[in-house]
Amino acid sequence: EMPQVKGQVEFKNVGFTYDEEAGNKILDNINFKVGQGSTIALVGPTGAGKSTVINLLSRFYDVQEGEVLIDGINIRNVTLGSLRSQMGVMLQDTFLFSGTVMSNIKYARPDATDEEAIQAAKTVCAHDFIMNLKEGYDTEINERGTRLSIGERQLISFARALLADPRILILDEATSSIDTRTELALQNGLQRLLKGRTSFIIAHRLSTIKNADCIMYIDSGSIVERGTHEEL
């Protein structure tokens, strides 16, 4: 079991390949240590290894070289369940489930009250668009969320993450074009969601990159530059 974490994250000499037989290194000698509560933007060209970094942090795969540590604990030595319970993972194909908007927000915390869920939606700027749906929070959505835009799906996932309140947040930002109003809600909602959590964002928006405490530029499996937006 992993104890309640604060959210310090460290990669120590991490090397990784998806295919041990071929042995082509996807990540090579990745080193960083980030303090609790900081926002890290991962940027770099397609195929660079950004998603792989978050795959290793959430332990969808185990590293072959080096260590991934949270609060100094090697994540290999804790149960997957206890690790994931401390993480909010929001991938690009935001996972929604068949059910109402309300049940989707409460997904990770079924015991929450409607008021708490609505408060979370308000905080991340999702409330207005939800109220504009035909049946508001009672609107039924299907797994693929086909009645919602990508940006709207991401807003629901923000509300869900805020309600679950994990110390570590992982976000693969949506790249598809998003209308200006939803875009603004996403920007503001994200900044509120990030407060007090250690967050790793595969960032596509300039606003996210500008607001990050640290930008890591990854290319061909290595961190080739790091710093704030002003520094880079």
Where do contacts with ligand ATP occur on this chain (CB under 6 A)?
18, 26, 44, 46-52
52 binds, among ligand ATP, Mg ion, none (CB under 5 to 8 A by kind): ligand ATP
Kindly state the smallest distance separating residue 76's Cβ from Mg ion, in Å: 23
47's contact among Mg ion, ligand ATP, none, with CB below 5 to 8 A by partner kind, is ligand ATP
Q: Which does 48 bind (CB under 5 to 8 A by kind): ligand ATP, Mg ion, none?
A: ligand ATP
Q: What is the CA radius of gyration of the chain?
A: 18
Binding mask 24-53 for Mg ion (x = CB under 5 A): ---------------------------x--
Q: What is the helix (H) or strand (E) element at residue 39, kind and residue range?
A: strand 39-43
- Eight-state DSSP code of residue 232: -
Is the Cα torsion angle 178, 54, 13, 33 positive or negative in sign?
Answer: positive
**Total residues contacting Mg ion (rule CB under 5 A)?**
1
C-beta closer to Mg ion: residue 54 or 162: 54
**Is 169 in contact with 141 (CB distance < 8 Å)?**
no
CB of 200 to ligand ATP, least distance (A): 12
- Write out the two tokens for 140: 């039924």
| Nearer of residues 17 and 104 to ligand ATP, judged by Cβ | 17
Residue 36 is encoded by which pair of tokens? Answer: 């609790």
26 contact, one of Mg ion, ligand ATP, none, CB 5-8 Å limit per kind: ligand ATP
Name which of 48 and 169 has its Cβ closer to ligand ATP: 48
CB of 137 to Mg ion, least distance (A): 32
User: From Mg ion, ligand ATP, none, which one binds at residue 46 (CB under 5 to 8 Å depending on kind)?
Assistant: ligand ATP
Question: Minimal distance in Å, beta carbon 17 to Mg ion?
Answer: 17
Q: How far apart are CA 107 and CA 163, in angstroms?
A: 9
CB of 190 to ligand ATP, least distance (A): 19
Nearest Cα to 223, choosing from 48, 47, 40? Answer: 48
Backbone angles phi, psi at 181, to 5 degrees: -70, -45
Q: How far is the CB of 210 from ligand ATP (least distance, A)?
A: 20
The two tokens of residue 81 are 């369940």
191-217 per-residue burial string, b: 16 or more CB within 10 A, e: under 16 = eebbeebbbbbbbebeebbebbebbbb
Amino acid at 216: M
**Residues that bind Mg ion in the complex, under the rule CB under 5 A:** 51
